[in-house]
Copies of this chain bind each other. A is one copy, B any other.
Amino acid sequence: MTGKYDLLDAIFHPKSIAFVGVTTSNPLHWTRTFWDSAREFQFEGPMYPVNPRGGELDGYKVYRSVDEIPGNIDYAICTVSAKIAPEIVRKCAAKGAKAVHFCTAGFAETGGADVTELQQELVATASETGVRIIGPNCMGIYCPESRLSYDTCFSKQSGNVGFISQSGGNSIYTIREANWRGVKFSKVVSIGNACDLNESDFLEYMIEDPQTRIIALYLEGVRDGKRFRQLLERASLQKTVVMVKGGGGEAGARATASHTASLAGNDVIWDALCRQLNVIKPKNMEEMVDVLTTLRFMPAFKGRNVLLVGPGGGASVMLTDEFERRGFKLPAVTDKIREELLGFSQAAGNMLLNPIDYSQSMQDPGSMHKAIQLLTKWKEVDFCVGFFRPSQMTNGFLDMVRKADDMVNQAFSASFKPVAYIVESAVTATRQAIAFEMAQKVVASGKPVFYSFAAAAEALRLVADYNKRKISRL
């Protein structure tokens, strides 16, 4: 533990917060996001809304200026216009603030000389006053254990994933989607232009943070390549690291420059570095969520042998293709196991190979339970994947298959090997509702849920590669 660690830890656990620039008139205005979230999360310390108009907000006195706040503040979340940012920093410094988060955009990312200067002035003010800056142009901190959030809908539960994101939107996407699938976060920080505290500072903190076991990164570029590389190596040796790198191409680089004033760097270099350090590198945020879900719910599986279970011949073939294309194997069920299976199920023989199409067999829960136990005890199987695809069924089949899938999901809980479940969405409203309900059941039963055959196979490939390299690195 270092002084730097303690400072960052204090920033993630503020004792009091000023909400500078929060709107009192319009409850739907975006500046209310932080205030509403702190209220929803029941932040325990003092909260001070600040707005030149004064008045009252949710029963709290609104201060016309940071100066007017009685006593000290620990942290400030600012949604004020860019040009007054340095002044706000000075005022917060006078009140003893350790850090100020500027959600405000309109700094260096716009490319204008005047606003780039403004950002430089902000950095100088921070350095002069000792106040640290988060942002500008970002969503700041989400830390369930300190009841700090930037969306009212994020989970109030803590988990083991730390997440540093250069994009606020991509972080919101990831947190919401991952939360729904049962993944919880220890600390998240959306860093935007990262003019003062940057990705390396937060990465260093998360390496040391005992609550964080998995470090997720969405980066468009890094400020100090050498330092970041060293930290990434340390992180990869101590924790599991998952990184999405945005803006690898020509227009992508242009987009990251205008998004967070970042220099994106070459994709090939990042790919090589991640392979070398065994950093999992999904291509996009969807895959990031899929990987986090896999890491959360699937204990490290030993090999690439998969058992596939689901209704429908054509769907089974498609799922098999997705796995085989990625170097997985489907061991053929042996005659011995097949005979045992036939001993307690009325199954048609052809359905007991692998993939296992149960649509015409094993309609009773007891035999499905026994079948899953028997098949997952088998040493040739490293993990199991089930699936439900409501769009492939006529109305006549849907109800039957829905019940059967429910049963498979339950039987999967008896598996001796890690399991995953795919629940594909569907177009009609009824089927959407059915898929949604099925996905909820999978999540509630503590299994990883995926939304497409390809998505599941790709996430499992990324994690299988990681598991394999991890062993060879030991």
A residues engaging B (CB < 8 A)? Answer: 28-33, 36, 105-106, 109-112, 139, 150-153, 165-173, 176-177, 180-181, 218, 220, 246-252, 254-256, 258-260, 283-286, 312-318, 320-325, 329-330, 332, 348-351, 353-355, 357, 360, 389, 391-397, 399-400, 425-429, 432, 436, 451-454
Contacts and interface: CB of A to CB of B under 8 A. Distances in A.
Contacts of A348: 106, 110
Contacts of A452: 286
Contact of A321 (B112, B252, B312): B252
B247 A391 contact: no
Nearest to A453: B284
Contact of A255 (B260, B322, B355): B355
B248 A324 contact: yes
Contacts of A249: 320-321, 324-325
Nearest to A397: B30
Contact of A110 (B36, B167, B247, B350): B350
Contacts of A317: 167, 220, 246-247, 252, 255-256, 259
A392 B172 contact: yes
Contact of A153 (B29, B251, B357, B395): B395
12 contacts: A33-B394, A33-B396, A152-B395, A173-B389, A248-B325, A251-B329, A251-B330, A251-B355, A252-B321, A284-B322, A286-B454, A432-B436
B112 A391 contact: no
Q: Among the interface residues A255, A312, A392, which one has the most CB atoms of the partner chain B within 10 A?
A: A255
Nearest to A354: B251
A121 to B, nearest CB: 19
Given A218-B314, A428-B176, A150 B250 contact: no
A29 B259 CA distance: 56
A198 B288 CA distance: 43
A391 B286 CA distance: 11
B394 A150 contact: yes
B313 A169 contact: yes
Contact of A176 (B329, B354, B427): B427
